[in-house]
Amino acid sequence: LKHFLTIEGLDKELLTEILDTAESFAGMSEHQVKKVPLLRGKTIVNLFFENSTRTRTTFELAATRLSADVLSMNIATSATSKGESLLDTIHNLEAMHVDMFVVRHALSGAAHFIAQHTAPHISVINAGDGQHAHPTQAMLDMFTIRQHKKQFVGLKVAIVGDILHSRVARSQILALNTLGVSEVRVIAPKTLLPAQVKTMGVIPMHDMDEGLDDVDVVIMLRLQKERMNSAFLPSESEFFRCFGLTEAKLKRAKADAIVMHPGPINRGVEIASSVADGPQSVILQQVSNGVAVRMAIMSMAMHSQGGVA
């Protein structure tokens, strides 16, 4: 893969190769190896036009561990505030001989747009675009599921909450179905499901007790208020009562079910603290796995002979 923009169109073999490569990087720290020289001499620029804690930091760490030079641009203090366009910003950074852009943007399609207009030797990685895709998050989530469940075949996965505005859910659904899970359920009020939900390869449900019954993996999502018209914001207390994950509701899932969340979590809105910090939660393991998975994706993109994901 030259660019990594979406999970759509990627086959099971490529997704498995990413997970296997990430596994080799995850094993590095067990052997006290902190850095490998795979991207020595390469320059990676993080361009985050939207805020981030986990994605930006793990991309920076991943690039550092691959021995790349990494620069995270402060968009708030850049010349974009003086009216410089996205493409002019990109072309000016290209003039500094960079090799990769890691892009987060509020507009769906922004990373694709940059990939189409940037110099041919530059790779573009999508770190989240609008409500469209967050493919590296989906891959670190797949890595975490495989770590705990060993294989995807036969798994029942429930994704709960604001599916409508979630780029994470869209990418997870594509990855889970490509990797061969047996069921992906989406549990949400009708107002927080996309109109095209019936074509997404999921089972739409509206009741937590029914939706969580016998599942292996529960993925919780926050209300993406920044993408909602405030007039349609659900009441947080009402949302928690109907769709918040509590210890009582989690009992409907399999006894060894894992609880995931891409973060940031809103305690008491979509998840109770006792579950987020409880024995079935793998939320912080997802964050740790982000480094190895992003190392895998960056090194595979840099050593690619072509092709666009």
Q: Which of 46, 55, 172, 224 binds ligand CP (CB under 6 A)?
A: 55
CA 73 to chain centre: 21
Active-site residue, from 31, 82, 150, 190: 82
Mark whether 82 is an active-site residue: yes
Q: Which of 89, 123, 126, 137 binds ligand CP (CB under 6 A)?
A: 137
Does position 262 interact with ligand CP (CB under 6 A)? The reply is yes
Question: By C-beta, is 112 or 261 nearer to ligand CP?
Answer: 261
If phi over 0 gives left and psi between -120 and 50 gives alpha, with beta otherwise, what is residue 266?
Answer: beta
227 binds ligand CP (CB under 6 A): no
Q: Is 264 annotated to bind ligand? A: yes
The neighbour count for residue 194, using CB atoms within 10 Å, is: 19
Contact between 89 and ligand CP by CB under 6 A: the answer reads no
Residue with structure tokens 């991309």?
A: 59
Least Å distance between CB 24 and ligand CP? 23
Nearer to ligand CP, 46 or 55 (CB): 55
The answer to whether residue 194 forms part of the interface with ligand CP (CB under 6 A) is no
Strands 100-105, 69-73: pairing is unpaired
d(CA 4, CA 210): 36
Give the other-Cβ count within 10 Å of 28's Cβ. Answer: 16
- The Cα 162–Cα 128 span in angstroms is 16
The window from 25-33, 191-199, 224-232, 258-266 that contacts ligand CP (CB under 6 A) reads 258-266
161 DSSP assignment: S
Please select the residue that binds ligand CP; options are 16, 21, 43, 52, rule is CB under 6 A.
Answer: 52
Q: Can 104 be counted among the known catalytic residues?
A: yes
Q: Which residue number, 135 or 211, has a Cβ lying nearer to ligand CP?
A: 135
Catalytic residue flag (residue 249): no
φ/ψ region of 72 (left if φ > 0, alpha if ψ in -120 to 50, else beta) reads: beta
- 55 catalytic? Reply is yes
Closest distance between ligand CP and the C-beta of residue 63, in Å?
15
Q: Which of residues 97-136 bind ligand CP (CB under 6 A)?
A: 128
Return all residues near 283 (Cβ < 8 A) that are at least 6 apart: 259, 260, 261, 263, 265, 276
Structure tokens at 170: 């869209």
Of 194, 211, 234, 263, the one binding ligand CP (CB under 6 A) is 263
222 annotated binding-site participant: yes
Q: What are the two backbone dihedrals, phi and then psi, of residue 247, each rounded to the nearest 5 degrees? A: -60, -40
Active site residues: 54-55, 82, 104, 134
> Where on the chain is the footprint of ligand CP (CB under 6 A)?
52-55, 128, 137, 262-264
